[in-house]
Structure 1
Amino acid sequence: MQDGQTFFSLNKPLDWEQGYEANIHMQNEGFSIQQTEKYSIHRIVRTDELEGIHPIQEMTVGPGRKLFLLDEASNVWIYDDESRHRESLFRQGHQLFSHQAMLASMSDLLVIADAHTESERRLAVYSISNGQTMWAIHDWEGLELFPLSVNTRITTANLLYAAVPLDIAIGMNGSPEVPKGGRIGIIQWNAAGEVVHVYEHEAHRLEETAEIAALRGRYYTAAAGGKLVLLDAQLRTVTVFHEDGREPFHFKLEQEGRFAGISIDTNHNIYIGDSGYAQQEGVTERFILKFRENGEQFDKVTSFRGRTDTLLHDGRNRLYVFDRISGQISLLDLRARTMLLEGTQLPEAIYFSAELDTTETETQWHKIRLEADIPEETQVRFSYFTSDESEGFIDGEYVNYTGYLTDPGISIRDKLAATRDLWSEPILNPKDALLMNARGRYLWFKIELIGSEQKSPYIRKLRVYFPRTSLIAYLPPIYQQDEEHSPFLERFLAMFSTFFDDMEDKIDRISSHFDPDAVSGTYLEWLGRWLAITDHEAWGETKLRLLIKQAPELYKLRGTREGMMNMLKIYTGSEPFLLEYFQFKQMQETSELRQLFAQLYGDNPYCFCIMLKPEFVQTDAQRLTIEQIIEDQKPAYTEGKLIVLQPWMYADMHTYLGINTYLSEPTLLTLDQRSSMPYNTVLIDVDRDKRMDIHTRLELDSEIE
């Protein structure tokens, strides 16, 4: 219906770059209001409401978002905040560490550091599954360890860090202390308990002698992405160490507050908490401060306002904040937030176009068609003006319209104020809209995106049509000459014109709906129904697309071995194993094997077996689909049997060398540096005399105590 009609199309970044944008995030597929991620409180765990648990002194986060809590009775609890389930990791009265210990998690291990002078295990690593000690140390190279802070970094090697005094002396009262000028450093261990590196900086030398007990709560560490930071809360300084050997970076905190707790996210941003009391020194707002790795503060976690004693991130950038006084643990998640426009401080964005030039004066512009996603609580406003001249007066000055609108040196507030009389009334949320009273060689438009706190409209494509065409041209002249009613009739018929245009577009592109590589979702499922496939979820889009493409060849082979094997290969992604009667017929004729072969494969000469590995038949739905494929594709006079192989050797069952069974060299279970035992060797003791390394069977003739 648009014969002789042309349009300007803006559907890629290069098209939009000709104009001016403010607070817009441009992508290949379109644009929206710029967004950022900010922390919001997801859940608050009130540990004082947990029955049977003493007040919590320390916490950390383990795998699966499980919380590890240390109470003032030195009990360690594993707590799942989703199910509210809790269990104790150690028995009551274990005396392995004190209630002043610090916790950190390292994959499936729990690290406990205790600087208490009476503790024999200053640094110990335990298995989370059963509480077994993996390794523990009291000193290192003659240096007695007094951990002041501990944290981990989850990598392929799993690394552990502890801030400790590197210079120790015995004071007049017999207590250990750090002398004046003594160093505070960070020792790095691997998961096996071996020291990997020691980090030091001149800024962390004590100005005065201090007892070990006085240093508790002064130092905090965090590590992520090859960065290691050390916070001295008393001197209000932060040192950033680089694991690649670069010079450490040191900066001082200029902000007010009593700092406590430090953490790093995966983008190397540093977070520092505040442990001040609200009622002291007029403190009313205590935010978590956010710094770049160069020490520049650029944000606050405004969604959390409270005391911080422990601050840490998990592997997915979730933030955990522990307040020891109230016993509350706050869980914060990153959520998308719409950025505010600088000129208005509202969640919106504005786009000014360059001129659209038809090269002909007195052109009557027709309409726009906008492809956009407009969520609830958001809005798109489209305004325009036209002229036969590219220049004119704006705010009393004669300017080039495009030059003015796209000038980055003019603030968005000034542009909006100076051009407010040029624009037409805004069209709200336009999908298909006529451009009324739009006559001129040039057209400029303004798009305003109005977002909510978390959502933004998304513009995909814009088309501006010209010259004006209408279905009214197909009516008798009397309807076209009525100046009073023709404009209404033209707008009314424009709705039907849109329907016809859409219909013609669909007809032009109908062939693409039959191309399995070009369609997805419901269209692909629709094509699948042509092949009598109704269980689309069992196949998935990738397999279904491949099946549709190969359908002509597969249906030629239907009812043959080759056709069935090809169909199963498409579904499972692997070549199945097919065993037919003639392949084992000769062995079955041997009397001693006949019963075994009948048990494994049956004794029907028209029966065949399809054997698949267990990873291809993990659910009942997959089993039913495979059995249906076998039933549909097999020759009419035969019977198909599905056998799911198991990944182990079992006598008189389906065991096939090189398929689900392998022979390998014996490996040794190393007990220590001098002893080892082959754990994959079966030893039998006829006499049952409980002799190790001769013939031993657990729970038959041997016991472990």
Structure 2
Amino acid sequence: MVQSRSTPSVSVQLTPMRIPEAVPKAGLAFATGETIDITASDLLLHPGEPSEMMVQIQNLEPHPLQLNLQIEGEFPTEWCQIGGMEGNEIAPGESMDAVLYFHVPATFFEDQQAIIPDSKERLKLDLRCLISIHINIGSERQYIQQEEFSLYIRPYSNYMNFLPVLYREVDFIGRLMKILELAYQPVIDSFNVMWANLDPLTAPRALLPFLAHWVAWQSDTIWDLRQQRRLIRRAVELYRWRGTRKGLRLYLHLYTGLPLDEHLANEADKHISITEPFGQPFVIGEAELGTAVLGGGQAFHFVVRLRSPNSHSIHERLIRRIIEQEKPAFSTYELFIENLQE
């Protein structure tokens, strides 16, 4: 049998993890000079962000109590879950803690009731909740003790952090600031990531022709997207070292992806090797017949060797085109492409 009692059997304390700074009609109270106190047990909810309400129950009776905690209110049941309870019995003078986990869907303000002007049921932002504690005393007697609190569903606004505390206490100002944030924040965010639009490695594909024109780099369909981004980004560096061994090696590195091997002292051991076939020059008193070469070898000639784990992926005609573009006009060269797996 369920009864009600004039003196409570338990003491209930509600502790919200997020307390609202403003309540409805606070704007009117601010204008008239009135004060509106927010109940200490009210909970603020932001859609998409979890929040908690701590419930502490203390037994005021001289004997153990069997408890059953239930919650109901103007919200769907899936919004709230009860946890943290260890058993349902409280010893005399002891306390039991429970946690109410609330989670409002992130699309709460995109609900049909919110976006359809002619909707018959308005979207509720202020919800009343009731905690019912069913107390069993003995085998036949049962009492119900109830506690009320409110849920305030509000959109989170970073702009409120820039206002004095006095204005944060006005609910209308909070909603107005959220409207301003939705209107201006996309523009601010676009300025914050403007650097990404000007970097060829992160810029949208549609902007690559503009960036290539900016550095006077001729776009070519023979390059894939990844190679185009790297070449445009380092175009000025390629211009600076054009006609040198370093510039040619850098260009071949950007195309083939082979390492530069700057740590290797011997040029012949590098994946991209550029050598000049100079022999032992003719030095009086040191030259030997058969080894000394008058003039030191072929002038203005160099040898390019590419050592790749997969030489079939390297386009030889494109490599020759790069070399012809980067080398001095009067020089000659030889090209060798070797497969390291063979």
Instruction: Give the TM-score normalised by the residue count of structure 2.
Output: 0.39
Bigger helix share: 2
Higher relative contact order (CA 8 A, sep 6+): 2
